[in-house]
């Protein structure tokens, strides 16, 4: 009698232990009865019927991160870009997520890549760098409308890096360097013209007059001779005065033609006293 009671007691314990299911927060679980969906178990203590029901999946219901690996995309102007993104997503309906789609993360990754290529393909290369925020928003709206039927909610999509080919990067750097050099030349020319205007005013001369231009050429001639004298490789040479006068005349005409090309900034009107 005692052994029979003990056996029944052990069977009851085994039955209870196999029917007891504890789900931790923030997980949920699906229960099937004889191969068909029966119910969803929430976090906490739950009971199932042993041998008849079983838990087929336990899934995390909190926000998840999906890292989409870098992919090659083509812009509207046929530039190949390497783009990668991250996706924040969450299961909101475990039944649909389990039965409506196989391998959610793989399906999400393929969906993001397809839509990402489409968005990049609509834009020219320069627009992709300035339009990342718009690309993220467009991807979120397009993908979330599809994943809703999967029981999945897309929280946000972020394009992290857009990397153009090395040749494009070098071309951009050369273009920036050329633009910087051009701006520096303009500023230097304007500064030189302004300083000449100030010097002419101080001397009481017209900056476009032959006398003032001749003064500037003479000053440059003196400066050049001083540099030649201070040079360790300097040499003493003599020049025919007539040739010197002809050279200065040519320099004068050359400098005069160049100075006329410089646009002096407009003079500010005198203040009313």
Give the pLDDT confidence score for residue 50 in this predicted structure.
Answer: 85
Q: Which two tokens stand for residue 196?
A: 């000449």
Burial of 48 per CB tally in 10 Å (0-12, 13-18, 19+) = buried
Q: Are 41 and 55 in contact (CB under 8 A)?
A: yes
Give the pLDDT confidence score for residue 198 in this predicted structure.
Answer: 76
Give the pLDDT confidence score for residue 263 in this predicted structure.
Answer: 47
Give the pLDDT confidence score for residue 194 in this predicted structure.
Answer: 73
Q: Are 76 and 130 in contact (CB under 8 A)?
A: no
Q: Which two tokens stand for residue 54?
A: 């079983």
Burial of 258 per CB tally in 10 Å (0-12, 13-18, 19+) = exposed
Give the pLDDT confidence score for residue 116 in this predicted structure.
Answer: 92
Please state the pTM of the whole predicted model.
0.58
Give the pLDDT confidence score for residue 195 in this predicted structure.
Answer: 72
Q: Directed axis angle between helix 210-230 and helix 166-203, to 10°? A: 120
* Cβ-based neighbour number of residue 89 at 10 Å: 23
Give the pLDDT confidence score for residue 169 in this predicted structure.
Answer: 59
Give the pLDDT confidence score for residue 230 in this predicted structure.
Answer: 61
How far is Cα 69 from Cα 101, in angstroms, rounded to an integer? 21
Q: What is the pLDDT along the chain (273 residues), one digit of tens a residue?
A: 557 776 665 666 666 677 888 999 999 999 999 989 999 999 999 989 888 999 999 999 999 999 998 888 999 988 889 999 999 999 999 999 999 888 899 999 999 999 999 999 999 888 888 889 999 999 999 998 899 889 999 999 999 888 887 776 566 666 666 666 667 667 766 676 677 677 667 766 766 676 666 666 666 656 665 565 665 655 555 444 454 455 555 555 554 555 444 444 454 454 443
Q: What is the dihedral of CA 78, 82, 86, 87, to 10 degrees?
A: 30
Q: Are 79 and 164 in contact (CB under 8 A)?
A: yes
Q: Give per-residue pLDDT as tens, 139-169.
A: 999 998 899 889 999 999 999 888 887 776 5
Backbone angles phi, psi at 219, to 5 degrees: -65, -45
Mark out the alpha helices in 100-240 (DSSP H runs): 104-121, 125-130, 132-147, 166-203, 210-230
């Amino acid at each position: 009698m005692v052994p029979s009671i003990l056996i029944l007691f052990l069977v009851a314990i085994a039955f209870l232990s196999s029917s007891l299911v504890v789900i931790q927060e923030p997980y949920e679980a699906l229960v099937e009865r004889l191969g068909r969906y029966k119910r969803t178990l929430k976090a906490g203590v739950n009971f199932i019927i042993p041998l008849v029901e079983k838990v087929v999946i336990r899934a995390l219901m909190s926000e998840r991160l999906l890292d989409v690996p870098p992919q090659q995309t083509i812009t509207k102007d046929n530039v190949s870009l390497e783009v990668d993104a991250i996706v924040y997503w969450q299961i909101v309906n475990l039944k649909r997520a389990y039965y409506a789609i196989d391998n959610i993360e793989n399906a999400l990754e393929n969906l993001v890549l397809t839509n990402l290529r489409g968005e990049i393909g609509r834009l020219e290369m320069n627009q992709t760098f300035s339009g990342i925020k718009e690309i993220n928003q467009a991807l979120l709206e397009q993908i979330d409308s599809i994943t809703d039927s999967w029981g999945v909610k897309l929280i946000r999509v972020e394009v992290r890096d857009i990397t153009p080919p090395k040749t494009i990067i070098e071309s951009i750097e050369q273009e920036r360097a050329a633009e910087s050099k051009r701006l520096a030349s303009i500023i230097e020319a304007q500064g030189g013209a302004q300083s000449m205007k100030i010097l002419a005013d101080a001397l009481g001369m017209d900056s476009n007059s032959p006398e003032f231009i001749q003064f500037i050429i003479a000053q440059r001639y003196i400066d050049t001779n001083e540099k030649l004298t201070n040079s360790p490789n300097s040499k003493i040479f003599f020049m025919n005065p007539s040739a010197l006068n002809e050279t200065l005349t040519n320099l004068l005409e050359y400098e005069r033609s160049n100075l006329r090309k410089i646009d002096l900034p407009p003079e500010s009107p005198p203040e009313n006293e």
